[in-house]
């Protein structure tokens, strides 16, 4: 493994992030992203750099060599990992088919470092989801059954690219796979994508899914899914008696 100390590109990105660091923001982010003992992001470290500033830095370093990008992605510092992913998104969008394939491969190979919800949400649809638009989506169903919560979140968030392209089948199928997931962050992700189906494709497929599953859906997922409904309709869905989840 190449040491980051001899990678000037990665070092330059680190210096740019450190120059934008804010200790007060960092303290807030430690609580916001649940970094305490036993929480989902236990031990994560923050500089306190806001996302818009990270986007600017990523744009400035959009041509960073992949070795340097992956060095940043392996960092213990949250903003270095997110900036690395934002750079990969830039490179994916501008890359030819061969380069896109390389980025997707690197993304999946190094996904152990994609370990918080914002890292997933700002990269999975733009990279993995876009790549799978015209390909077999079996990898998403494998990820949906992973023990890693972030793999499972990647699986459903990647489908946002399909929704934007007018497809809902795999989103609904994965939502069903994840229906009994125990983690609140998966409930939120599933509900969010269901809401997007209703918003961008139509309420018919969403209501069909709800009719079939509302009695066992986690309330968080349901609330997210019906967020755009009228108050009267939301109350109707929320009043549905729940059955035990098995």
List the domain boundaries for the chain: 1-115, 124-246
Degrees to nearest 5, angle at CA 187 with 182 and 190: 130
Residue 14 pLDDT class (50, 70, 90 cuts):
very high
pLDDT in tens, 164-223: 999 999 999 999 999 999 999 999 999 999 999 999 999 999 999 999 999 999 999 999
Same fold for the domain at 1-115 and the one at 124-246?
yes
CA distances from 227 to 103, 160, 163, 223 (A): 35, 17, 17, 6
Torsion angle, CA of 36/42/47/52, rounded to 10 degrees?
Answer: -100
Q: How far out from the chain centre does Cα 33 lie?
A: 14
Residue 3 has pLDDT above 50, yes or no: no
Q: 3-class SS at 77?
A: strand
Lowest mean pLDDT among 36-40, 41-45, 143-147, 241-245: 241-245
Residue 243 pLDDT class (50, 70, 90 cuts):
confident
Give the Cα separation of 126 and 152 in Å (integer). Answer: 16
Residue 246 pLDDT class (50, 70, 90 cuts):
low
pLDDT in tens, 69-79: 999 999 999 99
* pLDDT at residue 8 in the model: 63
What's the average model confidence in pLDDT over 30-57? 96
76, 105 Cβ separation under 8 angstroms: no
Provide the whole-model pTM: 0.94
Fold of 124-246: 1.25.10
The number of beta carbons lying within 10 Å of the beta carbon of residue 93 is: 13
Residue 6 has pLDDT above 50, yes or no: no
Residue 2 has pLDDT above 50, yes or no: no
Q: Which CATH class is domain 1-115?
A: mainly alpha
């Amino acid at each position: 493994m190449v040491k980051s100390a001899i990678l000037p590109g990665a070092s330059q990105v680190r210096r740019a992030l450190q120059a934008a660091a804010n200790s007060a923001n960092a303290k807030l982010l430690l609580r916001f992203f649940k970094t305490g003992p036993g929480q989902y992001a236990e031990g994560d470290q923050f500089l306190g750099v806001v996302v818009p500033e990270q986007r600017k830095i990523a744009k400035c370093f959009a041509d960073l060599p992949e070795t340097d990008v992956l060095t940043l992605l392996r960092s213990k510092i949250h903003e270095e990992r997110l900036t690395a992913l934002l750079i990969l998104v830039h490179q994916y969008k501008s890359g030819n088919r061969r380069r896109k394939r390389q980025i997707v491969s690197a993304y999946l190979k190094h996904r152990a470092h994609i370990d918080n919800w914002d890292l997933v949400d700002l990269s999975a649809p733009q990279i993995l989801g876009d790549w799978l638009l015209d390909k077999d989506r079996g990898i998403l169903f494998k990820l949906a059954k992973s023990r890693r919560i972030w793999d499972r979140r990647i699986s459903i968030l990647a489908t946002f690219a399909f929704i934007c392209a007018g497809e809902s089948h795999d989103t609904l199928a994965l939502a069903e796979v994840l229906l009994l997931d125990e983690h609140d962050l998966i409930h939120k992700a599933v509900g969010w994508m269901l809401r997007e189906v209703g918003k961008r494709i139509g309420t018919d497929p969403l209501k069909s899914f709800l009719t079939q599953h509302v009695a066992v859906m986690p309330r968080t997922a349901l609330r997210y899914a019906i967020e755009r409904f009228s108050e009267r309709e939301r109350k109707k869905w929320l009043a549905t008696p729940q059955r035990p989840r098995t």
